[in-house]
Structure 1
Amino acid sequence: MTSNKMRCVFELPADAQEDLVNRPEPKDMKMATEELRKLREDLSSARGENLQLREEGIRLRRQLSSAASAPGSAAADAAPADTTMYYVMAAVALVIGVIVGKLVM
């Protein structure tokens, strides 16, 4: 048996050499990590605020619907006054229409 030794030379590809040259320094990595942490905290607080606003909107809608359906509430009392106003306006329009119709003929 014979023993042979092979000599190998490892060369990095050109793009790998550029990556090694452009590798960020530890200081830059620390700043990027800190900024990422801050952005994640901001995102978390924004999501919490969004959830809180949605719950408040649902609560206000429920209060509004319960206030409108309750007897003796301001919203329930306002509805008959509005319909009464429509009846009065319709009667006035009818009277004016009859008067104008008599004058034109």
Structure 2
Amino acid sequence: MQYLGFDPSEGADGVTTLEAMASTPAEQHAAVMAEVQQVLEWAWRRFPHTHGPADDGMDWDHDLQVQVEDGGWHTVTLTLTASPRFAQAFVEAFADALPGD
């Protein structure tokens, strides 16, 4: 991942939130969206039938926000909510997009 870096946080309920934000000029927006697509395609492939709210027992859910700012900058925010098993698989697949120790 060149643009997206995920910041994990774990709630008291065992649900992990993985949030990434990238703010780039318009010329780099397609590259950011390609990374978003890569993450979401992985999630759909790996956990195809368990997308939805954690409160309903699902493994993962997502929220994608795209805003165009002044000066043509594009801000993309991707938030994933994850069960422990999704979070572990995500760490294994996207270690390079997580903060180092």
TM-score class normalised by the smaller sequence: under 0.3
Q: Which has the higher helix share?
A: 1
Q: Which has the higher strand share?
A: 2
Higher relative CO (Cα under 8 Å, sequence separation at least 6) belongs to: 2
Which protein is bigger by CA-based radius of gyration? 1
